[in-house]
């Protein structure tokens, strides 16, 4: 169904409603409080809203399914830690269910009413004022008692992805329906290059959004630079949309021919051989089967091109190796 058509709200399809909610871009916070045993607890929340200046009121919505719900229901005080763009990993940690989210996290000694994350962009210390039952969430309203405000770029969140404002318009796609992400299956010797954000479990292919006005050659160059490699693209390999991501993926395959002098920033880069089954280390059904196909086809030295279609996708075989345009002309 076209995204511009009206949809009836349905309990069986909360995903598309979630996508529509996700069109509202937000910042990211970590809400923290002490539990009854004096241990710090926290969770990532983008439902934070400032409500009133006089009195100074804020709210945040907590899912009734959250492990920590009883803590925030009971705590007299809580803190809203507004995250900067350097705290993406922290956001992922606190969005998880680990019992040990505070390992390695520095708390501010200067504030005791709630655990305050030292490195945050801003911190609001609040006294609980109201708890309102609202469907599958509780709305927690607090009065801000003290706050600190720092400098730096905020961490943003839009349609299920973080937005790095420092990266400018690179990561923001105004219209995801026409957005394209370009990636590359980069071979190094007999392995495949995968990348991983620090703290993440899953690996993924090196990819960048294709911004308006950037040439195809330049965007592929960006993909290689992202992993600190110089290389050659052999051919287009796959075109698909991974379930619900909202953008098309255009995946090339290519070979690394050397390293650039600039090391990749904020990314772990590794080459995986077939024996390590790299397809089991990535997420997304299409991506998994694409990487599996890549290794199989490379063994046979016979690559195909995959294109997703309404009837389940097609693969076209390519006879022989791609020939350089200049050689082909002569
Ligand atoms: C960017 C982002 C925003 C989130 N916002 C909220 C939110 O506003 N309310 C909420 O209850 N959960 C939100 N979550 C999910 C919680 O962080 C997640 O369920 C967490 O596991 C809850 O922690 P707990 O179960 O240990 O209490 C968000 C997750 C992310 C990644």
Helix or strand or coil: residue 21?
helix
Closest-CA residue to 241 (of 293, 313, 164): 313
Please check whether the two domains, 14-157 and 173-329, share a CATH topology: no
User: For position 16, what pLDDT does the model report?
Assistant: 86
CB 251 within 8 A of CB 290: yes
Residue ID of nearest Cα to ligand 1 atom 7: 45
| Composition of the chain by helix, strand, coil, percent to 5 | 20, 40, 40
CB 227 within 8 A of CB 195: yes
CA of 92 to the centre of ligand 1 (A): 9
Fold of 173-329: Nucleoside Triphosphate Pyrophosphohydrolase (3.90.79)
Residue ID of nearest Cα to ligand 1 atom 6: 45
User: For position 302, what pLDDT does the model report?
Assistant: 74
User: For position 198, what pLDDT does the model report?
Assistant: 73
User: For position 173, what pLDDT does the model report?
Assistant: 44
User: For position 322, what pLDDT does the model report?
Assistant: 64
The verdict on domain 14-157 having CATH code 3.30.70.790 is: no
User: For position 170, what pLDDT does the model report?
Assistant: 43
CB 65 within 8 A of CB 47: no
Distances (CA, A) of 243 to 230, 246, 274, 283, 285: 31, 8, 25, 11, 8
Q: Which of 24, 46, 160 to mutate to test the pocket of ligand 1 (most atoms within 8 A of CB)?
A: 46
User: For position 3, what pLDDT does the model report?
Assistant: 58
User: For position 122, what pLDDT does the model report?
Assistant: 94
User: For position 242, what pLDDT does the model report?
Assistant: 77
**pLDDT < 70: residue spans in the chain:** 1-3, 166-178, 244-246, 318-330
Residue ranges of the domains in the chain?
14-157, 173-329
pLDDT, tens digit, 9 for 90 and up, residues 57-69: 999 999 999 999 9
Burial class (CB in 10 A: 0-12, 13-18, 19+), 196: middle
User: For position 119, what pLDDT does the model report?
Assistant: 85
For residue 155 and ligand 1, the question of a CB distance below 6 A is answered with no
DSSP assigned state of 152: S
User: For position 329, what pLDDT does the model report?
Assistant: 59
């Amino acid at each position: 169904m076209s995204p511009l058509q009206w949809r009836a709200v349905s309990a069986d399809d909360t995903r598309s409603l979630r996508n529509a909610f996700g069109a509202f871009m937000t910042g990211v916070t970590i809400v923290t409080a002490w539990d009854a045993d004096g241990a710090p607890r926290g969770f990532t929340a983008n439902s934070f809203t400032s409500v009133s200046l006089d009195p100074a009121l804020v709210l945040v919505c907590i899912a009734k399914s959250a492990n920590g719900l009883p803590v925030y229901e009971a705590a007299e005080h809580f803190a809203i830690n507004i995250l900067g763009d350097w705290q993406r990993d922290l956001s992922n940690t606190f969005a998880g269910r680990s019992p040990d989210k505070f390992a390695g996290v520095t708390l501010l000694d200067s504030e005791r009413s709630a655990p305050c994350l030292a490195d945050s962009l801003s911190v609001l210390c609040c006294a609980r004022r109201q708890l309102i039952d609202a469907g599958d969430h509780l709305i927690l309203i607090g009065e801000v008692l003290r706050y600190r405000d720092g400098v730096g770029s905020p961490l943003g969140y839009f349609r299920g992805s973080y937005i790095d404002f420092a990266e400018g318009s690179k990561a923001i796609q105004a219209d995801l329906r026409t957005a394209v992400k370009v990636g590359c299956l980069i071979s190094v010797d007999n392995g495949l290059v995968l990348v991983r954000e620090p703290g993440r479990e899953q690996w993924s292919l090196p990819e960048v959004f294709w911004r308006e006005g950037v040439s195809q050659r330049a965007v592929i160059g960006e993909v290689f630079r992202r992993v600190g490699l110089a290389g050659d693209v052999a051919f287009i390999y796959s075109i698909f949309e991974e379930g619900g991501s909202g953008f098309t993926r255009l995946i090339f395959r290519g070979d690394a021919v050397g390293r650039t002098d600039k090391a990749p920033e904020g990314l772990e880069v590794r080459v995986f051989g077939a024996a390590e089954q790299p397809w089991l280390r990535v997420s997304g059904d299409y991506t998994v089967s694409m990487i599996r196909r890549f290794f199989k086809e490379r063994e046979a030295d016979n690559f195909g091109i995959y294109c997703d279609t309404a009837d389940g996708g097609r693969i076209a075989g390519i006879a022989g190796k791609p020939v350089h345009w200049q050689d082909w002309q002569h």
